[in-house]
């Protein structure tokens, strides 16, 4: 039997960390960065790719007839191809560069939703969603008279397919769903969800912001209609992200930004649109960002996304097990598999106070509602503390983090 | 910055035993505010006697800093005139932003929140209730003049 070389790869954390300049900074020597679900650190190769564009061939894309303009265009489009292959898109025409997940979802809400939805049509989103996969649909519903239906989660943050079956109706036009929950780490069975939705004639938009950075994603195999993700959560620069969609949907959609680069021809009263994907990329794009994201994907491919996933699965299991073993600590989220993020609380202590104490020990975690207020409400907490991991974290960091949580509980215990 | 400078005993006492917490029947002014950063909510209820705050209570939950801050707020503004309170709000905001390092001796327990100035991410926790009170006083004032104008 042939063993896939990818399967054999193990992650050498020390070697990986050396490629992230931020960890080499003197003042960051003791930094334990556990907030990668918010944004990730950047490897040297990404920083250099961005800098090389500005230093060596800075020019606008798709216009100039001179050497560096041609180079900028080639590199920008090469990044698109790299990303398209990485997510399993059939064609790079399906990969639209946007600012991030939020802009991708808003583009679908306006460009597709306003065109397709009618009064009394229905949009389903889940209780787990990030606000960026809730609010654009609320606004769309207000504009069109469509109705919102909520796919509720259980107390452990799991969504059940039976509940979805009951929600789907002949009026359901769209289902908006996170691949992996940013707040609780829940991993949703997208292929099955898509199957159910498609059997009902419902389109599916998947928020992949927390999946693409951490696991193999094949948008074609999953069968999704729309897929959104952000570059900065996968080692890339901020301000760049991707909207993937099936080509016939992109064809039928309206552009939402009108201006340069997205037109084919302009007359006095009307204009026609450029080909895919440029039809959606009005104005000078984030060229450096796209090139940086291409470099980030190449970095992930070099380490191996499956190896990264295995490494993170080990980290999250270790963290959840150790936190659950601490008296006075409550871990939120589903039992079993989850993405590399764990939300928790210490009884009687507000998450802000936890994160301030951890920060004193150089440990960066997030406290708050994680832009998931519907999920927080279901859990009956105003906020949680959340630690999230990536390929540059290791077991010793998890152990120090859990020890600090334990010390935080003890620090307040004498008062409370 | 030592942690104990932030989490002073007096704050933990107010956190554990908040003063003037609870609903108020028939308040003259009620205002809710949220800290969008963390989702914490605070609601202030006020009853006036002329230009004085006769009664004040708060509802809501939050971190040690926000709860101690609102508890101390209610403790110190009760019985004061609106002008006195507005001045105190200014002074308090300046204190937690590190712009001044002293307050009147009459409100000395508020000095316990001075340590917040060294924790920039926590300033919003300390000021939420105070910003809300300022807004509530201004709103109440303009509601009163609207009524007089009618």
Q: Using pLDDT thresholds of 50, 70 and 90, give the confidence band for residue A64.
A: confident
Integer Cα distance of A112 and A392 in angstroms: 38
User: Where do the H-state alpha helices sit in chain B?
Assistant: 3-6, 9-16, 64-77, 82-96, 123-149
Q: Percentage of residues in chain B with pLDDT exceeding 90?
A: 72
Over chain B, what is the mean pLDDT?
91
pLDDT value of position A1: 42
The total number of residues written for chain B in this structure: 150
Place B149 in a pLDDT band, splitting at 50, 70 and 90. low
Longest pairwise C-alpha distance within chain A = 74
Q: Could you give the CA distance from residue B58 to residue B44 in angstroms, rounded to a whole number? A: 5
SS3 A22: helix
Cβ neighbours of residue A161 under 8 Å, at least 6 residues apart?
Answer: A189, A192, A193, A196
Predicted confidence (pLDDT) at residue A4 exceeds the cutoff of 80: no
Q: Which of B15, B38, B65 sits opposite A367 (nearest CB)?
A: B38
Give contacts of A 331-360 with B, CB under 8 A: 349-353, 356-357, 359-360
| Helix or strand run (H / E) with residue B44 | strand B40-49
Give the C-alpha separation, B127 to B43, whole Å: 13
CB < 8 Å to A354, chain B: none
- In order, the DSSP letters of A260-305 are TTSEEEE-SS-EEEPSTTGGG--SS--HHHHHHHHHHHHHHHHH-H
Kindly determine whether residue B65 and residue A352, on different chains, have CB atoms separated by under 8 Å: yes
Query: pLDDT exceeding 70 applies to what percent of chain A?
Result: 98
The sign one gets for the Cα dihedral B96, B100, B103, B108 is: positive
Distance CA A308, CA A391 (A): 6
Q: Provide mean pLDDT across the span A14-40.
A: 96
Which has the minimum average pLDDT: A17-31, A264-278, A287-301, A321-335?
A264-278
Give the mean model confidence (pLDDT) for residues A249-277.
Answer: 90
Contact B12 A415 (CB under 8 A): yes
pLDDT in tens, A223-244: 999 999 999 999 999 999 999 9
* Displacement of CA A1 from its chain's centroid (Å): 36
Q: What is the pLDDT of residue A259?
A: 86
Q: How close are the terminal C-alpha atoms of chain A, in Å? A: 60
Q: Does the structure show a pLDDT above 50 at A262?
A: yes
Cα of first residue to Cα of last residue in chain B, in angstroms, is: 55
Residue A362, by phi and psi: left (phi above 0), alpha (psi -120 to 50) or beta?
A: left
Burial class (CB in 10 A: 0-12, 13-18, 19+), A334: middle
- Between chains, do B119 and A356 touch, taking CB under 8 Å as contact? yes
A235 to each of A19, A211, A298, A389, A391, how far by Cα in Å?
A: 12, 13, 10, 13, 10
Cα angle: A241, vertex A246, A250; to 5 degrees: 75
**What is the pLDDT, as a whole number, of residue B48?**
96
Backbone angles phi, psi at A236, to 5 degrees: -90, 180
**A356–B6 CB contact, under 8 Å:** yes
* Residues of A forming the active site: 371
Task: Tell me the average pLDDT across A377-387.
Answer: 92
Band of the pLDDT at A264, cuts 50, 70, 90?
A: confident
Q: Are A193 and A164 in contact (CB under 8 A)?
A: yes
Q: Given B15, B39, B63, which is nearest A376 (Cβ)?
A: B39
The pLDDT assigned to A214 comes to 98
Q: What band does B2 get if pLDDT is binned at 50, 70 and 90? A: confident
Count the domains in chain B. 1
* Residue B1 banded pLDDT, cuts 50, 70, 90: low
Cβ burial of A361 (10 Å; 0-12, 13-18, 19+) is: middle
Task: Please determine, for residue A54, whether its predicted confidence score (pLDDT) is greater than 80.
Answer: yes
Find the largest Cα–Cα distance for chain B. 56
Q: How near does any CA of chain B get to the CA of A351, in Å?
A: 7
Strand partners, A204: A175
- Lowest mean pLDDT segment, chosen from A82-96, A104-118, B119-133: B119-133
Collect all residues of chain B within an 8 Å Cβ-Cβ radius of residue A352.
38, 62-63, 65-66, 122, 125
In sequence order, what are the residues at sequence separation of 6 or more whose Cβ sits closer than 8 angstroms to the Cβ of residue A268? none
Residue B92 contacts residue B130 (beta carbons within 8 Å): yes
Q: In the beta sheet, which residues pair with residue B40?
A: B35
Nearest CA in chain B to A351: B63
More confident residue, B16 or A240: A240
Which member of A353, A359, A368 has the closest CB to residue B64?
Answer: A353
pLDDT tens figures, B47-91: 999 999 999 999 998 889 999 999 999 999 999 999 999 999 999
B124 in a structural domain: yes
Pairing of strands A271-273, A363-364: unpaired
Close Cβ partners of A138 (under 8 Å, ≥ 6 residues apart): A148
Alpha-carbon distance A222 to A243, whole Å? 15
Residues B29, B140: contact at Cβ < 8 Å? yes
Residue A350 to residue B37, Cβ atoms within 8 A: no
User: Residue B114 sits in which domain range?
Assistant: 3-21+28-145
Q: Is residue B91 part of a domain?
A: yes
Does the structure show a pLDDT above 90 at B150?
A: no
User: Which residue is closest to B124 within chain A, CA to CA?
Assistant: A352
For chain A, the C-alpha Rg in angstroms (whole number) is 22
B123-137 average pLDDT score:
95
Strand partners, A50: none
Average confidence (pLDDT) over A135-145 = 98
Pull the structure tokens for residue B13: 């006492």
Cβ partners under 8 Å of residue A142, min gap 6: none
CATH number, domain containing residue B17 = 3.90.1010.10
DSSP string covering A77-115? HHHHHHHHHHTT-S-GGGEEEESSHHHHHHHHIIIIIHH
Q: Is the residue at B101 inside a domain?
A: yes
Domain architecture of chain A: domains with CATH: 5-30+304-413 (3.90.1150.10), 47-301 (3.40.640.10)
Q: Confidence class of residue A277 from pLDDT cuts 50, 70 and 90?
A: very high
> pLDDT tens for residues A340-371?
999 999 998 999 999 999 999 999 999 999 99
Q: Round to whole Å and give the CA distance between A79 and A49.
A: 11
Report which of A37, A27, A61, A67 is spatially closest to residue A291, judged by C-alpha positions: A61
CA B73/CA B112 separation, integer angstroms: 12
Smallest CA-to-CA distance from A46 within A20, A23, A18 is with A20
Determine the Cα–Cα distance for residues A243 and A111; give it in Å rounded to an integer: 12
Q: Which of A114, A143, A115, A113 is nearest to A125 (CA)?
A: A113
Q: Which chain B residues are within 8 Å of A349, Cβ to Cβ?
A: 64
For A374, nearest residue in chain B (alpha carbons): B39
Unique residue bearing structure tokens 């302009």: A266
A227 against A273, higher pLDDT: A227
Minimum distance, in Å, between the CA of residue B71 and any CA atom of chain A: 16
Query: Does A309 score more than 50 pLDDT?
Result: yes
Structure-model confidence comparison of residues B36 and B5, the more confident one: B5
Question: Both tokens of residue A19?
Answer: 């490629």
Question: For residue B150, is it within any domain?
Answer: no
Closest residue, chain A, to B1 (C-alpha) = A360
Supply the mean pLDDT for chain A: 95
Helix (H, G, I), strand (E, B) or coil at A67: helix
B12 interaction partners in chain A (CB closer than 8 Å): 412, 415-416
pLDDT per residue over A145-201, tens digit each? 999 999 999 999 999 999 999 999 999 999 999 999 999 999 999 999 999 999 999
Report the complex ipTM.
0.81
Count how many residues are written for chain A: 416
Phi, psi of A178 (to 5 degrees): -80, 140
């Amino acid at each position: 039997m042939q063993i896939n070389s990818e399967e054999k790869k193990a992650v050498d954390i020390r070697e990986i960390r050396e490629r992230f300049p931020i960890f080499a900074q003197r003042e960051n020597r003791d930094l334990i960065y556990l907030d990668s679900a918010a944004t990730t650190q950047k490897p040297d190769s990404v920083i250099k790719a961005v800098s090389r564009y500005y230093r060596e061939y800075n020019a606008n894309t798709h216009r100039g007839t001179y050497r560096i303009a041609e180079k900028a265009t080639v590199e920008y489009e090469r990044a698109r191809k790299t990303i398209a292959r990485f997510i399993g898109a059939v064609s790079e025409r399906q990969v639209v560069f946007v600012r991030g997940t939020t802009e991708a979802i808003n583009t679908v809400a306006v460009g597709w939703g306003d065109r397709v939805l009618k009064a009394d049509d229905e949009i389903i989103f889940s209780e787990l969603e990030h606000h960026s996969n809730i609010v654009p649909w609320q606004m769309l519903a207000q504009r069109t008279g469509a109705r919102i239906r909520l796919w509720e989660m259980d107390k452990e943050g799991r969504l059940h397919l039976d509940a979805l079956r009951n929600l789907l109706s002949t009026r359901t036009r769209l289902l908006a769903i996170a691949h992996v929950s940013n707040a609780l780490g829940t991993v949703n069975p997208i292929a099955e969800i898509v199957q159910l939705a498609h059997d009902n004639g419902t389109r599916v938009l998947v928020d992949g912001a927390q999946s693409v950075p951490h696991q193999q994603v094949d948008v074609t195999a999953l069968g999704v209609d729309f897929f959104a993700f952000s570059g900065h959560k996968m080692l890339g620069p901020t301000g760049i992200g991707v909207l993937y969609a099936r080509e016939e949907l992109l064809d039928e959609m309206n552009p939402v930004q009108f201006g340069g680069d997205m037109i084919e021809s302009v007359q006095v009263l009307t204009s026609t649109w450029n080909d895919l994907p440029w039809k959606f990329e009005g104005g000078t794009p984030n060229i450096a960002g796209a090139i940086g994201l291409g470099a980030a994907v190449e970095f992930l491919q070099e380490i191996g996304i499956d190896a990264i996933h295995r490494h993170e699965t080990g980290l999250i299991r270790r963290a959840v097990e150790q936190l659950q073993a601490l008296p006075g600590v409550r871990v939120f989220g589903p039992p079993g598999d989850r993405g590399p993020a764990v939300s928790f609380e210490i009884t009687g202590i507000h998450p802000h106070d936890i994160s301030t104490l951890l920060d004193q020990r150089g440990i960066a975690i997030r406290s708050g509602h994680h832009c998931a207020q519907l999920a927080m409400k279901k859990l009956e907490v105003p906020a949680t503390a959340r630690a999230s991991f990536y390929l540059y974290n290791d077991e010793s960091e998890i152990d120090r983090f859990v020890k600090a949580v334990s010390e935080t509980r003890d620090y307040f215990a004498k008062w409370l | 910055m030592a942690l104990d400078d932030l989490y002073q005993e007096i704050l933990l006492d107010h956190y554990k035993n908040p003063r003037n917490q609870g609903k108020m029947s028939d308040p003259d002014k009620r205002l809710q505010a949220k800290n969008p950063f963390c989702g914490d909510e605070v609601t202030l209820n006020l009853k006036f006697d002329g230009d004085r705050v006769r009664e004040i209570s708060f509802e809501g939950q939050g971190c040690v800093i926000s709860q101690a801050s609102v508890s101390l707020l209610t403790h110190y503004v009760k019985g004061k005139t609106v002008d006195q309170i507005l001045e105190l709000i200014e002074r308090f905001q300046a204190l937690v932003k590190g712009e001044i390092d002293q307050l009147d001796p009459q409100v000395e327990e508020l000095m316990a929140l001075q340590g917040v100035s060294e924790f920039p991410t926590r300033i919003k926790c300390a000021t939420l209730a105070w910003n809300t009170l300022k807004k509530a006083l201004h709103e109440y004032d303009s509601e009163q003049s609207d009524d007089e104008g009618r």
